[in-house]
Structures are given as structure tokens and as C-alpha cells.
Amino acid sequence: MNIQTGDRLTLKKKHPCGSFEWEVLRVGADFRLKCAGCGHQIMIARKQVEKNVRKICHDQNS
């Protein structure tokens, strides 16, 4: 799966704030994601992200 820094991900489950959208801040064995709704940041395993992603919107500026 081709996920890069700056991409916006739509995940299957929503964050408690109600948003399904996340921004990718760091890519590696783990991802650092920032919630588009409230700005909360999390670290999550690559395997778990790839399993739960519905849609990837690639950054237009790169």
C-alpha cells in the first residue's frame, strides 16, 4: 500500500470526535496520524492502518 506523509486517510471506524479523516504525519513501521476533526495525534502500527483504511487522498502539493 502506497501511503506517504501528507496523505489523508479515511478509516473504517470513526474517532470519538466523529471524524473518519486522518492526516499522515510519519510513515515507517508505525504511522503517526492526526485526526482531521479534533487534532488528536496517535501512533498506530502499519498493519493495523492498512487493515482499516477505506480511502487514500494523496497530497496534491508533492
Whole-structure pTM value? 0.87
Q: Where are the domains of the chain?
A: 8-57
11: enclosing H helix or E strand:
strand 8-11
- Structure confidence at residue 60 as a pLDDT band (50, 70, 90): low
Q: Identify the pLDDT of residue 59.
A: 73
Identify the residue with better confidence: 58 or 40.
40
Q: What share of the chain is helix, strand, coil (3-state, %, to 5)?
A: 10, 40, 45
